[in-house]
Amino acid sequence: MPPSTKSHTTNGAAVGVALIDGVPLVREGLSALVHRSPGLRWVGAAENPSVGIRLCERMRPDVVVIDAVLDPRGQLGRHLAGEFRVILMVDEAHLTPQYVANAVSGGIHGLIRRNAQPAQLMQAIHTVHTEGRYLDPVLTESLTAPLTRPRRSNGTHQPLSQREHEVLRLIADGLENQAIANLLFVSVETVRTHVKSILRKLASRDRTHAVAVAFRSGVLTVDEGAVPR
């Protein structure tokens, strides 16, 4: 099958799907699902990250599904999310606020449980392709309690200002300082000042850690933490 020339199809074209997963049965199963699903086109599968990157570079899929077991630190997802729509299949071991926060801040477009029903995965693929974002409702519900506690009710961290909260939300969406400055019509130096204040108030060592702390404490919630890209 010849490779596509762009990473996002036009209206009416089949959505190209690739999979990076170490389990042969999963690779065969998703291939069969895609082949019999209208509007989807099977691009191929890889059993490890390095082969998966080469597959994506060669075949240019519209949506890449990745097993979280092969991407425990989110590096593969972040690498591919710059060019492709990326969905992470999350197993129980990775179903934590920290992992979700890192995925969101890394620009991942979709999160779904690894044991979700096939129809739900097909829905996630279509939704990520058309809308740029999908969050598994069951996954979100399971994380609701630790992610939606009242903000700073225990006084552990200083509260963020409205502008700092806005900057933090944009950081969680994966934007760098210059892009945030452009969106907020302020200077890059002003954004840097806000970021430094956010890190200090949340007692965070870096931007990703700040997003993780914000999700755990309720400063950000899953629903507001990412904006469709």
Q: Model pTM?
A: 0.63
- Residue 81's nearest CA partner among 14, 7, 23 is 7
Q: Is the same domain home to 77 and 49?
A: yes
CATH number at residue 27: 3.40.50.2300
Question: Residue 44: left (phi > 0), alpha (psi -120 to 50), or beta?
Answer: left
CA distances from 157 to 194, 217, 224 (A): 16, 10, 20
User: Does a structural domain hold residue 53?
Assistant: yes
Q: How many residues does the chain have?
A: 229
Distance CA 208, CA 15 (A): 31
* 113 shares its domain with 153: no
Specify whether 46 is located in the same domain as 134: yes
Which amino acid appears at position 29 of this protein? Answer: G
Is 102:212 a contact under the CB 8 Å cutoff? Answer: yes
Residues 164-219 have pLDDT tens digits of 988 998 998 888 899 999 888 889 999 999 999 999 999 888 888 888 888 877 78
- For 49-103, the pLDDT digits (tens) are 999 999 999 999 999 999 999 988 888 998 999 899 999 999 887 777 777 777 8
Residue-wise pLDDT for 113-126, tens only, equals 999 999 999 999 99
* The last residue of a domain, from among 97, 123, 145: 145
Report the pLDDT value the prediction gives residue 10, as an integer from 0 to 100. 43
Q: Same structural domain for residues 115 and 187?
A: no
Could you tell me if residue 6 is inside a domain?
no
Residues 1-39: tens digit of each pLDDT: 333 333 444 456 899 999 999 999 999 999 999 999 999
Q: Which of 116, 145, 174 is the last residue of a domain?
A: 145
pLDDT at residue number 225: 42
Shared domain check, 215 and 118: no
Q: Which two tokens stand for residue 68?
A: 């979280």
Residue matched to tokens 């049965």: 25
Give yes or no: residues 66 and 109 share one domain: yes
The pLDDT of 43-50, averaged and rounded, is 96
Question: Looking at the structure, do residues 171 and 133 belong to the same domain, yes or no?
Answer: no
Residue 216 lies in a domain: yes
Write out the residue range of the structural domain in which residue 123 sits. 15-145
Per DSSP (E only), the strands in the chain are 15-20, 40-46, 63-67, 85-90, 110-113, 134-135
The residue among 145, 174, 190 that closes a domain is 145
| Average pLDDT estimate for 148-162 | 58
- Residue 156: its pLDDT value, please? 59
Residues 135 and 158 reside in one and the same domain: no
| Residue 78 domain-assigned (yes or no) | yes
Could you tell me if 37 and 141 lie in one domain? yes
- Encoded tokens for 22: 């170490």
